[in-house]
């Protein structure tokens, strides 16, 4: 159902950042839906089968790393690319995110054109 119009799932608990990213992504022409914690993210991924997931790592209830790992183990979700979004900027944090099964990684504050390029790359890889 999302073949022509690929959608993005944004997982972010911080309201300000969520609002800002949704608006910018929509302006860039993407369909965006949002959830605020890791548990809800897995649920939304199952139901919506988004083309790409942008996931903050510091999430309540179930943090981003755990959610990534679980998505990786679920055959119905393992093909969905996840781009990690985090304010943890150390090399170590990047490695941790990739080890958890994320396809790519973006540091806050977000370089928006760069984020759009990363999303496009993931969408291209899927087609």
Partner 1 sequence: MRAADAVSQLRPRLSLRGRLYLFSGAILMLFAFNVGTSLWGSFARNESSIAYREAVTAAQLTAELEQNLQNKRQQVLVLATLRETTEEPLDAAALNQAYADLEIIAERLRQLGGFGGEDLEAYYRRLHDSVTALLGEWRQFYERYNETTQTPDIESAVSYNNTQQRLQELDQRQSFVAVQRANAIDATITLTDQITVLGFISSIAITLALVFAMIRSTNASLTRMKRGVERFGSGDLTYRIDEQRDSGEIGDLARTFNDMSTKLQTAIEEMNTARADADSANAAKSMFLANVSHELRTPLNAIIGYSEMLQDELGDGAQIDREQFHHDLATIIFSGKQLLTLINDILDLSKIETGKMQVSREIFSPAGLLVQVCDALSPLLLQNNNRLKLDIDKDSMRDMNSDRGKLQQIVTNLFSNACKFTKDGEITVSAHMSEESLIVSVADTGIGMTQAQQDRVFEAFTQAESNTGVKYGGTGLGLAIVREFCAMLGGRVALESQPDQGSNFRVTLPADPTSVPAGA
**Interface with partner 1 (CB under 8 A):** 14, 16-17, 20-21, 23-24, 27, 58, 60, 63, 87-90, 107-110, 112
Shortest Å, Cβ 93 to partner 1: 8
Nearer to partner 1 among residue 74 and residue 114 (C-beta) = 114
CA angle at 50 for the pair 44 and 54, rounded to the nearest 5°: 85
CA distances, 51 to each of 5, 24, 78, 126 (Å): 9, 18, 12, 8
CB of 16 to partner 1, least distance (A): 5
Angle at 94 between CA 91 and CA 98, to 5 degrees: 140
- Between CA 29 and CA 25 the distance in angstroms is 7
Minimum CB distance to partner 1 smaller for 108 or for 126: 108
| Smallest separation, CB 126 to partner 1 (Å) | 26
What are 91's two structure tokens? 């090399």
**Residue 21: alpha-carbon gap to chain centroid:** 12
Radius of gyration, alpha carbons of the chain: 13
* 24 or 31: CB nearest partner 1: 24
CB of 78 to partner 1, least distance (A): 25
Closer residue to partner 1 in complex, CB, 12/77: 12
């Amino acid at each position: 159902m999302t073949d022509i119009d690929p959608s993005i799932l944004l997982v972010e608990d911080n309201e300000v950042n969520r609002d800002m990213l949704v608006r910018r992504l929509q302006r860039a022409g993407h369909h965006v839906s949002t959830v605020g914690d890791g548990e809800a993210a897995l649920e939304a991924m199952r139901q919506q089968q988004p083309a790409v997931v942008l996931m903050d790592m510091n999430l309540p209830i179930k943090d981003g790393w755990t959610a990534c790992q679980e998505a990786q183990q679920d055959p119905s979700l393992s093909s969905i690319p996840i781009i990690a979004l985090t304010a943890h900027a150390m090399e170590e944090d990047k490695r941790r995110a990739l080890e958890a099964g994320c396809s790519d990684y973006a540091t806050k504050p977000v370089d928006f054109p760069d984020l759009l390029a990363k999303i496009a790359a993931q969408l291209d890889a899927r087609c």
